[in-house]
Structure 1
């Protein structure tokens, strides 16, 4: 979700095994090309889509793509697995079994997860340095984060705090995030929507730079691709030049409120690269007709939703 809401991502023949192994190794360290089987939607290809990351849910409509919360989709027996053998049990989600049902009818399933924010209510929350059993015990806006903590100030969403994305600090929590991507891959998600990677312009509680933010976006995309997942660039388009730097690393984009804030043109490099932009503006903050005109002008696959997005309200800018 946006950080301060108005309402609260040709096979080639080779002759030797060594060449194949070398190519596989290289693909683990950089984004894969668009011909390796990932979902890489072009503008208009999945125009009939929906985004629901909170109840109530409405999944009876046969859409080209649904974007749903990873933990809500988790089946019974799900686990987050970490280097060294540690495991965190994941409770059965309210939408357990939905991934299989949607994919059986030909729908692409994108799994939403936070990769740049700590969520106090998630099953893996205690693994983040700085976690406290009571959220009120974690320093918030105006208070210095504790030494060694990667948990910053509130994002504007209940129970959610910015993470310390500085290059020298992210190693303290990166494996927690990668375990979430592993879970998405095991669950059969076609791709992921990684959220809250854009602390710049907000109050994260840490002196995060533009280079920190852009490099973290890039790392998240590469880690998703290494697991065979499609990945979208969520927000971050407000930083000048960031889209041009990152478009080659992502398969699609999902910007919030670009029409409301006059920023839709900044996503143009995605469309020019043949990659879909799933734009969302919110009612009542944005005028539906004005927002849809802005989406259509840029050849975006746009929706008008309420925040947080549920199955209750959806207007397609078709």
Structure 2
């Protein structure tokens, strides 16, 4: 998250393609591993502006998925069914506990018309509370043992300063450091593919301007965004550009590698125009501004003016609040 002081007919048109995609993603059954010889799909969800305007974003409890939506954006680990694992090239496998939404991908995909399920995950931040946290260089048993501002990260650690969220830290995304942790992130994308996510919302890649603890450049950040998008596509997953639009020209530099965008607070900070390049390319922008931080009517006018499929949500996004900015 940024740290700063389609109608049913169109959905049905995508149903056949998405059902085929789900079959390839999930292999022999719900939560099952795809056969190793089966390649990842070369086609994935590519929403156009207005096609999936009836969407919702819930990545924290309480959840309520009873309302029929064209697209749901939900937390990857919360969706993990029983028996899920994170797997690595060294042979280690981390067993994951069933999430509070375990099995919901299959439930949602069984609806007619079939909705899209996007899985939220951090790709640019370390989360001390996740099962894979011990694999990150610099991990300590207690989060308070990890240096935080103004103390610099320890040599060899890829864990930087806090992102503003509890027990969450920026990762050192510079090219020279990625090899120490990238496989951990790609294992999360593998999990997304295995459990049937149609795409991913990779978060916390926008280190610039957020005091990450590392001397990250714009070139570093753009390069990492591109790598995350490429890795998602290698697994047949749709992928959205999450934030980063506060750096002038970044959206224009990345629009070719992402299928859609999900900016936070662009109306509040007057940054929505940066995302118009997605609309001009026929790619949807799922904009979110937050209640209590911005006048909802003003934010919705900004979303509509730029052609976005906008929402006003609570922070973090739950089932408690949702206002759709009608087009």
TM-score, structure 1 as length reference: 0.90
Deviates more, 1:149-158 or 1:236-245: 236-245
Map 1:68-83 to 2 at 5 A: 68-83=74-89
SS at match of 1:99: helix
Aligned 8 A contact 1:3 1:196 in 2 = no
Shift of 1:2: 1.8
Aligned twin of 1:2: 2
Shift of 1:140: 0.5
Q: Among 124, 130, 140, which residue is 2:148 paired with? A: 140
Aligned twin of 1:221: 229
Residue 131, structure 1, aligned to residue 131, structure 2 = no
Map 1:100-139 to 2 at 5 A: 100-105=106-111, 106-139=114-147
Q: Among 246, 251, 257, which residue is 1:238 paired with? A: 246
SS at match of 1:153: strand
Map 1:20-39 to 2 at 5 A: 36-39=42-45
Partner Cα separation in structure 2 for residue 144 and residue 272 of structure 1 = 42
SS at match of 2:261: strand
Aligned twin of 1:88: 94
Aligned twin of 1:206: 214
Residue 298, structure 1, aligned to residue 278, structure 2 = no
Q: What are the ranges of 5 or more consecutive residues in structure 1 without an aligned counterpart?
A: 7-26
Shift of 1:103: 1.0
Q: Among 92, 97, 101, which residue is 2:103 paired with? A: 97
Cα deviation, 1:246-280, whole Å, max 9, x if unaligned, reads 00000000000000000000000100000000000
Map 1:164-183 to 2 at 5 A: 164-183=172-191
Residue 281, structure 1, aligned to residue 289, structure 2 = yes
Residue 67, structure 1, aligned to residue 67, structure 2 = no
Aligned twin of 1:270: 278
SS at match of 1:140: coil
Residue 156, structure 1, aligned to residue 164, structure 2 = yes
Cα deviation, 1:140-193, whole Å, max 9, x if unaligned, reads 010110110000000000110000011110110000000000000000000000
Partner Cα separation in structure 2 for residue 237 and residue 134 of structure 1 = 33
Name the count of aligned residue pairs. Answer: 291
Residue 248, structure 1, aligned to residue 245, structure 2 = no
Shift of 1:3: 2.6
Partner Cα separation in structure 2 for residue 3 and residue 225 of structure 1 = 27
Shift of 1:85: 1.2
Aligned 8 A contact 1:116 1:163 in 2 = yes
Give 4+ residue runs of structure 1 displaced > 3 Å after superposition: none
Aligned twin of 1:12: none
Cα deviation, 1:258-310, whole Å, max 9, x if unaligned, reads 00000000000100000000000001101000000000001100000010000
Partner Cα separation in structure 1 for residue 220 and residue 173 of structure 2 = 6
SS at match of 1:176: helix
Aligned 8 A contact 1:3 1:157 in 2 = no
Larger RCO, structure (CA 8 Å, separation 6 or more): 1
SS at match of 2:117: strand
Shift of 1:39: 0.4
Partner Cα separation in structure 2 for residue 76 and residue 123 of structure 1 = 14
Q: Among 45, 49, 53, which residue is 1:43 paired with? A: 49
Partner Cα separation in structure 1 for residue 176 and residue 107 of structure 2 = 42
Partner Cα separation in structure 1 for residue 2 and residue 73 of structure 2 = 16
Aligned 8 A contact 1:154 1:160 in 2 = yes
Supply the RMSD in Å over aligned alpha carbons. 1.2
